[in-house]
Structure 1
Amino acid sequence: MTKVAIITGGLSGMGLATAQRLLVAGTTVCIGARRGGDPKAVADLHARLGKQVDVAKLDVRDSASVAEFVENVAKKHGSVDILINTAGVYDEAPVIDHPDALWDDTIDTNLTGSFKMIRAVMPLMKAQEWGRIINLASTAAHEGLENNVAYCTSKAGLLGLGRCVSLEGAAYGITCVSISPTWVETEMLKSFVDQETIETGLPRAEIQARYESSNPQGALVQPSEIAELIAFLVSDAGRAITMEDIKVNAATNW
């Protein structure tokens, strides 16, 4: 039977690449994002992936928004088999004088939002005795980074969340795995390169090369590579892989 997947934050980056890959596998894809109610964003996505992809507004920070989104997917498609939490935000600030708003938005989106999505879909997965949950963490879940306290904390929290979900879901065929990539060439990373180009006045190619050389392989991880891994993990072949965090680190130590 056709599986039904929810992808949070699937309008760009790894979420979008995963949507593309799952469509190839015949999966029904439902994308939820804060910009999911923006007609232009939806039109752009449909132009890229086709109108068979459901897109709707979803704020993972808001329990009512989460409940409504999941309920609508289940009513329309009859089930929710796969949840891929890729919605995330990133901003920098030191611990001293760290703004409350930045902390709250980062934790609420990256960590609590993932929890709320899992909480909403698990009863459906339990009833059908099959489910796959993927959380996009980061190598920042394993290492501290100066001026990145909120981001590192949010991603580290996903590892603990995944362990608990794995234990509670194991008897019902539900798996939960996190993926911790190093630098991936997403829109977010491209914005970092653009900003550093402006701030330093150096050629963009030089800034890009710095990010690439930070990986011993000498190249950035591509969103499609993460999508291929996810496609395997959410398949029947991924049944026994749970309570795990998989680093996609291109041989870097962080």
Structure 2
Amino acid sequence: MSSTNLEGRSAVITGGLSGQGLAIARALAGAGANVALGSYLGEAAGRAGDAAAYPGEESAAAIRAEIEALGVTVHAGHLDVRDADAVRAFLDAAEAACRPADILVNAAGTTAEQPVSGHSDALWEKIIDTNLTGAFRMTRELLPGMMARGWGRIINIGSTAATVGWKDNPAYCASKAGLLGLTRCVALEGAARGVTCVMISPTWVETELMRRNVAQVVARAGGSRTLQDALADIAAQNPQGRIIQPSEVAALALYLCGEDARGITAENIQITGGALW
């Protein structure tokens, strides 16, 4: 059990209703923090094609109830970090429910494989706007309050893609490299006012998004190879012979929110099991 105590703190977590964001939400709430969880909800966005790929209202309600059982206040709802007005509306509701944010975790993210040759503007903009500009928008809104109160933690969920290129992933790699630059700038801006900013960069993490993306690659390739075959190959490429789990990312995020981590800022901390990508 972690010794980090976050009672009286409030956290905003984008992408907080699934994957790494949800694992972090559970960890912070378990340490006593109120949590505001914003995710792109396919149903709320009014796009029928998104409902299968993103959490829905029913899932959000179930997660809210689960985390409230830990004895903390929870706000959960639709958040499209690509929309500045939606960001402001979500944060207003989050503050009303959970008090001003002391912690921001930028975990919302998306990806899609497409080579540079023939890469569409629309896909490039979607990935950059979600992974990089979305984190900027959230930080721009919450950093001033943290600085004014003299305490804050900003954690950006990056990737080994920030420092290692990968074929057919130009937008994703560019977005994570940009997020690292943003992390370092925010860290310097907040340093004198008690605000730290760190990027956690894992290799492959076994989430539903990861499994869905791998399944799409397998389907495009055709043949007899299955999703399980592909996951086994990914695990075999890791020196530890396994795929990193969301709980590992969450444990590090929780530590970074504690007082013992107040000197850790402007860093890119990798969780890779020894893998380069």
TM-score w.r.t. length of structure 1: 0.95
CA 194–94 in structure 1, closer or farther in 2 if over 3 Å, else same: closer
Is the 2:112–2:213 Cα contact (8 Å) retained in structure 1? no
Matches within 5 A, 1:1-254: 1-35=7-41, 37=44, 38-46=56-64, 48-50=66-68, 52-198=73-219, 199-254=222-277
Letter in 2 for 1:17: A
- CA deviations 1:190-225 (Å, max 9, x no partner) are 113433554332244322210111111000100000
Is the 2:10–2:34 Cα contact (8 Å) retained in structure 1? yes
Q: How many aligned positions are there?
A: 254
CA 74–47 in structure 1, closer or farther in 2 if over 3 Å, else same: closer
Q: Which ranges of structure 2 fall in alignment gaps of 5 or more residues?
A: 1-6, 45-55
d(CA) in 1 for partners of 2:271 and 2:18? Answer: 19
- CA deviations 1:142-163 (Å, max 9, x no partner) are 0111110000000000111011
Q: Secondary structure at the match of 1:11?
A: coil
Letter in 1 for 2:60: V
CA 238–42 in structure 1, closer or farther in 2 if over 3 Å, else same: same
d(CA) in 2 for partners of 1:203 and 1:158? Answer: 33
Between stretches 203-212 and 148-157, larger displacement belongs to: 203-212
Is the 2:36–2:98 Cα contact (8 Å) retained in structure 1? no
d(CA) in 2 for partners of 1:210 and 1:168? Answer: 42
Is the 2:74–2:97 Cα contact (8 Å) retained in structure 1? no
Determine what percentage of the aligned residue pairs are the same residue: 47
Is the 2:35–2:98 Cα contact (8 Å) retained in structure 1? no
d(CA) in 1 for partners of 2:182 and 2:264? Answer: 16
Runs of 4+ in 1 over 6 A off after TM superposition: none
CA 100–54 in structure 1, closer or farther in 2 if over 3 Å, else same: same
Letter in 2 for 1:71: D
Is the 1:196–1:207 Cα contact (8 Å) retained in structure 2? no
Letter in 1 for 2:102: D
Is the 2:200–2:268 Cα contact (8 Å) retained in structure 1? yes
Higher helix fraction: Structure 1 or Structure 2? 1
TM-score w.r.t. length of structure 2: 0.87
Q: Secondary structure at the match of 1:246?
A: strand
d(CA) in 1 for partners of 2:195 and 2:223? Answer: 48
